Structure 1
Amino acid sequence: MEAKAQEHERLALSCSGKEALDHTIAAAEFYMKAIKQSTSPVDKKRMNRKCEELILKAESLKKSTSLMDTTNYMERKLKLPRQTRQIPTTEKNILYRNSRLHGHTFPPWESDPDPADPSSFTLSPRQEAVFSGWKRPTELIKDMSRDDAGSDNHVVEADDYDLVQDITTDCSVVASLCASMKHLRPGPSSILPALMFPVSSEDGHPRISENGRYVFRMFFNGCFRKVVIDDRLPASSNDRTLYVVDRQNPSLIWPALVEKAYLKIRGGYDFPGSNSGTDLSILTGWIPQQLFLQSDEVDRNATWRRIKKAYDFGDVVITLGTGRLSPDEEEALGLAGEHDYAVLDLSESPESRKLLVKNPWCDGLVWRGVGSASSKVLDEADDHPIKLKPGSFWISFDDVMQNFESLYLNWNPSLFTDRQDHHFTWQLPEANMMGSFAHNPQYSMKAESDGQTWILLSRHFQDEELEISRKTSTTMAAVSNMLGFMSIYIFENNGKRVQLSDKPVYRGPFVDSPQTLAPFEAKQGVSYTIVVATQDLPLPKYSFTLSFFSRTTLHVAPAQYDLNHYTELHSRWTHRTSGGNSVSPLYFTNPQFRICLPQAGPLSILLSTAKEDIPVHVDLVWANGQRVIAVTVRDLVMTSGDYRRGCALASASRVDAGTYTIVCSTFEPGQMADFTLRIGSDVPCTVIPVPGDAAGRLRTQLSPLAFHSGEHKMRAPISVDRLTRVSIVVTRVSVSSASSTGRLPGSAGPGTPRSHSTIRATIERGRGPHQDVLVATGKGEFQEAGFGLRTVECDVDPLVSRSQGVWLVVEQAGSTSPDEGSLQVELFSDREVRVGTWEVDG
């Protein structure tokens, strides 16, 4: 036993922190066992003295490791949800890789804090103008008495709080501090001991750091991380301040230290701004939710009841955000545009529902609308006669709903018992696939019982995002918009991956924040598919965390594909290959693909383009891999249905083995775009482009054909030397070419819809009573030439052409307008065809 004790004693000397404490305790325990086993009084005395030394050393180590102990103690005290999932090594690597930000390292909270902080902070131009150096608190507070100089008052506490900002750009941070002060302020229920060190875990009072270093525990980039700062704050050369101050107690410094730690994460004191929901989630770890108050989906009565109940129980922190306001609107309402406000209290009576709101600016506007001090007459009764601090005002909930843009709610995570965090990276797909969900991160989720499940999507910060936001010198909204948007979709799809956004059971709004929340009522035993949706993200690669909060056991895993094999091809619609829908005479020119299925099974075909305003469609046709000229319902094996903007999906649970033709079309002819075709199947299949209509064929262009007065039918003789397959294409060439008018051939000018004469083209055999039509455009009906008329192929026999004659006939119904132009007629054939000159028929 003594040997084991000595081994642990040796190990304790070679390590530090909690590991050293564990070895020291183990050594003391083995010495105690050795004392019981020993029969020598001398050895017992020696080992007893050794044991006492180790106990004293363990007590000392406990003090040095009290930071970690404080965190664990506070997590149990605050009843935070237990992490039900062991993070795999691959995901831990994601967390470690995302520890570097703005030149600093913010490691995950796993070991004792490192007090060193050599960091530098940037300032905005306005701040630089009055900056007079970095100073410690005792240097900043010039009116502090000699007796106070050595006390903790400048760090610790105040009876009341009135935090404001001056020359800072972080209104959302100060609003967050103001709103959360009831939870941060020292006291038995304070959450500050879980977030700031050194601090008393019993009463929540911050302590003076002997070396001037403070360690903060903040949640970002997927986990709680260490943020180390010193206590130097930016000093001003005049009476303006460059950090958050308390007007009631200017010597109170700890809020400014919290602000400094947060701004270290976000890049410096010149940070362009965020929103208070995001800030509070980082500062406290509470779950952020953003409600858009101008949305029709917000039920104001249900929202009030929900937040009032939660606020009274201390389970929510509330802040508000305005949208863009003109200077006149700001003056009339007493509200600043694109600005965040703290909610300090809620009040409800049979006659009214009100919020006590605070503008964090030190000399900011206050509400001037209905119910404000400026709107009251002298003898009007006041529901809240207590004098308010400058910048604070009561406002009705109805006025909040009407005049504010966002309601930010940060929820106490202890509302839930279980939590799962899933970390992943995502390389954004090519532009063509961004309109579909084919390559988006997706997870399956199944709950063991009915209940509320909240799903939080968090985007990890990157240095490049700060560079993008600093390049924008316009509004905060413009900054947020440049960083892109995120949403969460939920589907009942047996937990399998989905490719389109159609028919979700939940669809969240697209937000410009780095977090978005999906509060969802999960049903027992139902397998859901959770999809991460984004728009306009500027960077090629991102890291995310999906956090699942519940009061029941959840089974969460990456969603699996429905099919075993996927093949992607890239193509485009050009001015020659954009034939429009199946009604268009140019439908046959659309891009087409030959697909060979070696055996029967399920099949999916996704068509996606980067031009999300273009309606697209995909068909699988019985055509043996040949080019499809026209399509009818009986020709279709499967179809994507109605034209859909950006992407379309055709799928079937079973398609027989064989060779088919895929047709990719836009709704209108002439719509040009690149696209990607994604084919899924259970067995590998072969997909190749079908050659164009004229590919490998001889093209014979006839002289332009124009109908003169009284002419309605023209013909030209055809002759061949061998059996030849022939088809006809007829297009109209307007008087002003498309290149000079900017219009397609045969189209009318803007605002001048006009019908043209209609055309029918045929290949006929023989004349008189023995005449026979071999093939005709438009199934024999007259049609406008417009984008072109086309026949299917037919055989021309050289014997028939010599004995009976074969004719190309073009007929016109209706008169020709002066600007209608001529017809261009082309023959496509597999062998040489000779065509005579045009002549009037009949």
Structure 2
Amino acid sequence: MDQRLSEHEVKVLRATSTINKYTYVPFIPADVNEPMVFATGFTDPETRSMKLSPKQRAAFVAYKRASEIMKDPQIIVDLDCAHLRQTVVSDCSFVSSCAVAAQYEKKFNKPLISSIIYPQRNGKPAYNPHGKYMIKLIMNGITRKVIIDDYLPYGRSQLLCSYSNIPNELWVSLLEKAYMKMMGGYDFPGSNSNTDLHALTGWIPERLTLTDKDEFNESNSNQHFDRLMERFYNGHCLITAVTGKMSDSEENRTGLIDSHCYAVIDMKKLGELRLLKLKNPWCHIRWKGNFSVNDKNNWTPRLQEALKFDPQSAAAKDDGVFWIDYKSLIHFFGVLYINWDPKLFRFQHEFHDLWSAGQGPIRDLFSCSDNPQYYLEVNNALEKAAVWILLTRHITEIDDFANNKEYIALNIYNGGEKIYIPFFEEPIMNGVRINSNHFLGKLLLTKKDVHKFSLVVVQEKAEWKGKTAGGCGKYNMETVKDNPIFHVTLNPDSDDHGLIVFLRAPREYSIGMDFFQVSSVRGKTYASKNSGDYRKGTTMLRLNHLPAGTYGIRPMTYRPGVEGPFFLDFECTSEPSIKRVQ
């Protein structure tokens, strides 16, 4: 796809180039000539200040260069998923993503891992004795370059990061360091492999929720498996699987880990029996149920021959790799993450846009006229054509992963006209809002014609629900603190800001809000205020002479337990930064 960026798109991409304090510029072809030789060795001050995870801190002794840890360091010795091992960083999805990408490259001889690590020699990543490396990662709409050194966290006798079981192989430790740098540090709260694989490969992320009975049920579950297995063997997709919530007793009984990501490294169908081969990135602890290594009933000689698998030999060493039947996977796992090769799509187009905080899709219950909307026209000359639309939300702070409260989706309408009232016309696809930075919408065209669509970006509406329907302090001082809280950060250049806050809710609700100072840039105080008497359906606060800093807003109903949506609108003398913190 050769597509020039407009000035507006360049502005959008530049605005989200600073991620977790550091700026990551787009990768350009000239960057393959990045200087890599230094008289005294290269040290990256940004990665040396990365926060360690709690388990790393407990065992940390020193940072050591690769040459201090291993003999004859190499970037890649044998690119095989079997060698990867996750240790004390909570990035099971990233290590599983590396595993499936490595397996794909080895099986299909198409560079997914080896093409993103520099310096290179003869088209392959090369060890740099000067310690500098450049990694290409796709983040916030474009491929960006991440510079790191080869200092790795070390304990008394081993690395305190993910590594290869091959003693002198570096690639997984370097990729993890680059990704953790971009994500804010080794104290990474975790993500999902849709996000991780998209960053590594650019492949299109799809999420299949096994617990969603509309999306996945008894009538279509086998169709899902058969479709994925065919595509898996054709090299069209990469797959990982994540367990659901599990108690300690369930973990002990099943051998599975609570909310843990596993690499899917094989799929088989023999008659009506459907099996998957999974790898635990820990390289130990594996499934104990049907078709496990200790299952004496299901591993018939015929099945062992068909899968070229000897459970007795496999039982001698726990490497975290196991077979599991599809029914058991459906029962104990919650999500399959699939990333699709974009080369499957002959025609591609992308563009980059933004909307202001507090406007547009966050308040689209009654009107979506302010929502970002796009016109899509497809001239279909085929009997069948797939149209996929990927919406990606840019992320700039680690807190967005740790406490992700942003839910996004697309609604798709026929006709191509602007949509004003969302419930006047039924969308042909009503997107389910998910708290991920990727949402995939899919259409199947079955008619040769010119098809016109309206794409409407939607976002979760703020609401009082359950515990967050705390009511006001006049009614209940214990529950008022549970209400939603938003932080508004004002431009640091002035101590004389003006701000108007509007709160709207269903007209039968009595509503109000508190306003309080959280921090001040120059230590100037501002007294807390409220919107006064509780009013039906709408209220406002007018605030003058606000010093630069951060302020909290707590919208609430008069009585606790009153659930429903609400909308906050802001008018300010400068562009504020607004985010929900509770």
Output the TM-score relative to the length of structure 1: 0.50
What's 1:461 paired with? 395
1:525 paired to 2:442: no
Aligned partners of 1:448 and 1:282: how far apart in 2?
Answer: 31
Match runs of 1:159-308 below 5 Å: 160=80, 161-185=82-106, 188-200=109-121, 202=123, 205-239=124-158, 241-247=159-165, 249-296=166-213, 297-298=215-216, 299-308=220-229
Q: Is the 8 A contact 2:509 2:537 kept in 1?
A: no
What's 2:59 paired with? 130
1:722-780 CA deviation, whole Å, 9 max, x = no partner? xxxxxxxxxxxxxxxxxxxxxxxxxxxxxxxxxxxxxxxxxxxxxxxxxxxxxxxxxxx
Q: Is the 8 A contact 2:291 2:298 kept in 1?
A: no
Structure of larger gyration radius: 1
Superposed displacement of residue 279, structure 1: 0.5
Superposed displacement of residue 377, structure 1: 4.7
1:415-470 CA deviation, whole Å, 9 max, x = no partner? 0122222211122446993434332211110101152111111111122xx23655
Counterpart amino acid of residue 321 in structure 2:
S
Aligned partners of 1:267 and 1:300: how far apart in 2?
Answer: 38
Closer/same/farther in 2, CA of residues 499 and 210 from structure 1, 3 Å limit: farther
1:425 paired to 2:354: yes
Match runs of 1:817-832 below 5 Å: none
Aligned partners of 1:526 and 1:158: how far apart in 2?
Answer: 48
Counterpart amino acid of residue 105 in structure 1:
T
Match runs of 1:657-806 below 5 Å: none
What's 2:472 paired with? none
1:598-631 CA deviation, whole Å, 9 max, x = no partner? xxxxxxxxxxx999xxxxxxxxxxxxxxxxxxxx
Aligned partners of 2:487 and 2:444: how far apart in 1?
Answer: 33
Q: Is the 8 A contact 2:87 2:161 kept in 1?
A: yes
1:483 paired to 2:422: no
SS in 1 for 2:144: strand
Comparing 345-354 and 92-101, the one that deviates more: 345-354
Closer/same/farther in 2, CA of residues 178 and 432 from structure 1, 3 Å limit: closer
Match runs of 1:319-330 below 5 Å: 319-330=240-251
1:77-124 CA deviation, whole Å, 9 max, x = no partner? xxxxx24x4321011111112111122221012253345743132101
What's 1:587 paired with? none
Closer/same/farther in 2, CA of residues 126 and 345 from structure 1, 3 Å limit: same
1:495 paired to 2:417: yes
Aligned partners of 2:392 and 2:167: how far apart in 1?
Answer: 36
SS in 2 for 1:311: helix
Match runs of 1:430-579 below 5 Å: 433-436=363-366, 437-449=368-380, 451-463=385-397, 466-467=398-399, 479=403, 482-500=404-422, 503-522=426-445, 524-535=449-460, 573=507
Superposed displacement of residue 194, structure 1: 3.1
Q: Is the 8 A contact 1:427 1:540 kept in 2?
A: no
Aligned length: 456
Q: Is the 8 A contact 1:262 1:283 kept in 2?
A: no
Counterpart amino acid of residue 268 in structure 1:
G
Aligned partners of 2:177 and 2:79: how far apart in 1?
Answer: 23
Q: Is the 8 A contact 1:572 1:675 kept in 2?
A: no
Aligned partners of 2:154 and 2:200: how far apart in 1?
Answer: 24
SS in 2 for 1:531: strand
Q: Is the 8 A contact 1:443 1:495 kept in 2?
A: no
Aligned partners of 1:675 and 1:360: how far apart in 2?
Answer: 43
SS in 1 for 2:45: coil
Closer/same/farther in 2, CA of residues 675 and 136 from structure 1, 3 Å limit: closer
Superposed displacement of residue 185, structure 1: 4.5
Q: Is the 8 A contact 2:115 2:125 kept in 1?
A: no
1:158 paired to 2:85: no
What's 1:88 paired with? 6
Superposed displacement of residue 376, structure 1: 2.2
Aligned partners of 2:69 and 2:274: how far apart in 1?
Answer: 42
1:119 paired to 2:40: no
Aligned partners of 1:104 and 1:213: how far apart in 2?
Answer: 17
Aligned partners of 1:206 and 1:133: how far apart in 2?
Answer: 26
Gaps of 5+ in 2: 36-41, 463-484, 489-501, 512-535, 539-554, 558-563, 570-582
Closer/same/farther in 2, CA of residues 333 and 572 from structure 1, 3 Å limit: closer
What's 2:517 paired with? none
State the superposition RMSD in angstroms.
3.3
Closer/same/farther in 2, CA of residues 88 and 391 from structure 1, 3 Å limit: same
SS in 2 for 1:422: coil
Counterpart amino acid of residue 467 in structure 1:
D
What's 1:752 paired with? none
Q: Is the 8 A contact 2:64 2:152 kept in 1?
A: yes
Counterpart amino acid of residue 457 in structure 1:
L
Aligned partners of 1:411 and 1:379: how far apart in 2?
Answer: 33
What's 1:580 paired with? none
Superposed displacement of residue 159, structure 1: 6.8
Match runs of 1:547-696 below 5 Å: 573=507
Superposed displacement of residue 346, structure 1: 1.3
* Selected match of 1:349 from 270, 277, 282: 270
Aligned partners of 1:264 and 1:184: how far apart in 2?
Answer: 25
Closer/same/farther in 2, CA of residues 370 and 425 from structure 1, 3 Å limit: same
Aligned partners of 1:284 and 1:331: how far apart in 2?
Answer: 35
Aligned partners of 1:108 and 1:490: how far apart in 2?
Answer: 31
Aligned partners of 1:453 and 1:108: how far apart in 2?
Answer: 28
Closer/same/farther in 2, CA of residues 199 and 185 from structure 1, 3 Å limit: farther
Superposed displacement of residue 158, structure 1: 1.8
Counterpart amino acid of residue 93 in structure 1:
K
Q: Is the 8 A contact 1:485 1:535 kept in 2?
A: yes
Aligned partners of 2:451 and 2:299: how far apart in 1?
Answer: 61
Counterpart amino acid of residue 334 in structure 2:
E
Counterpart amino acid of residue 509 in structure 1:
V
1:102 paired to 2:29: no
Match runs of 1:364-375 below 5 Å: 365-375=285-295
Counterpart amino acid of residue 250 in structure 1:
P
Gaps of 5+ in 1: 1-81, 471-478, 542-567, 578-589, 593-608, 612-644, 647-672, 677-842
Superposed displacement of residue 373, structure 1: 2.1
Superposed displacement of residue 576, structure 1: 10
Match runs of 1:56-75 below 5 Å: none
SS in 1 for 2:227: helix
Superposed displacement of residue 315, structure 1: 1.2
Q: Is the 8 A contact 2:191 2:401 kept in 1?
A: no
SS in 2 for 1:448: strand
SS in 1 for 2:354: strand
Aligned partners of 1:344 and 1:255: how far apart in 2?
Answer: 17
What's 1:550 paired with? none
Comparing 114-123 and 228-237, the one that deviates more: 114-123
Superposed displacement of residue 503, structure 1: 1.2
Q: Is the 8 A contact 2:236 2:341 kept in 1?
A: yes
Output the TM-score relative to the length of structure 2: 0.71
Aligned partners of 2:258 and 2:510: how far apart in 1?
Answer: 51
Superposed displacement of residue 221, structure 1: 0.3
Superposed displacement of residue 536, structure 1: 5.8
Aligned partners of 1:229 and 1:392: how far apart in 2?
Answer: 31
Aligned partners of 1:98 and 1:503: how far apart in 2?
Answer: 34
